[in-house]
Amino acid sequence: MINQQLMGEYDLFFKEVPHYVYGGVVQEERYAEQKTKLLFLLKEVIDETKNDKWSLVELIDKQIQEMKFLTIFKRLGELSYGFHHGFPPYNTGVTQPACIKEGLENLALINLKKTGGQNVSNMDEIRTHAFANKALLLQELEIIAPDLVICGGTFDVICEVLGVPYTHSDSGARVARYPNMLLVEFLHPGFYMLSPKILYAYFKEVMTHLPPG
């Protein structure tokens, strides 16, 4: 079980640390069925109290059960569903709760910084955490084994941590290869200054102009 393995690695890595946030695969069977497995690599969660350890997968599961989604998870579900269904029109093809649910169930999600943060991320702090958590990050990538890693505002840091060079795809987005996966530069899905339909259109542009192989 992917999530059990991940939680074991987190607990072993952090030991007595009281607060950290597990990443993982939302629905393991659906994830395994995908022709192209997507992992969204984000910065950090919003959790200013930092009182306990908790799971992103459980947070998403609760929203799926209630069919009520926080904004960032709406965006993730829309992008994932669009990718796996050939990018249908935004207004009529991806915004329904059932589509968001399916999109979320098909993806994996982790953060570079495993502890909570605030509304505005400090990239120097996230970079420091990423290097400190490098051994855990490598385990996460190995266990989740994605084909595409969508770097939501994390591309520069992850390339630096992994020590991989990048090139530019035809869309203009930067890409990098790390053994059996492709790292793809993208905006953070919670970027509030861009409308959801423009974010979706840009994601389509990036995903449909990836390098072969």
pLDDT tens-place string over residues 59-94: 999 999 999 999 999 999 999 999 999 999 999 899
Between residues 155 and 118, which one has the greater pLDDT? 155
Provide CB contacts within 8 A for 60, sequence distance 6+.
26, 73, 104, 109
Whole-model pTM? Answer: 0.95
Tell me: the pLDDT tens digits for 167-198? 999 999 999 999 999 999 999 998 777 899 99
Burial 37-53 (b: 16+ CB within 10 A, else e): bbbbbbbbbeeeeeeeb
- Give CA separation, 100 vs 9, 31, 154, 167, in Å: 29, 15, 23, 31
pLDDT at 120 over 70: no
Vertex 146, ends 31 and 137: CA angle to 5°?
A: 120
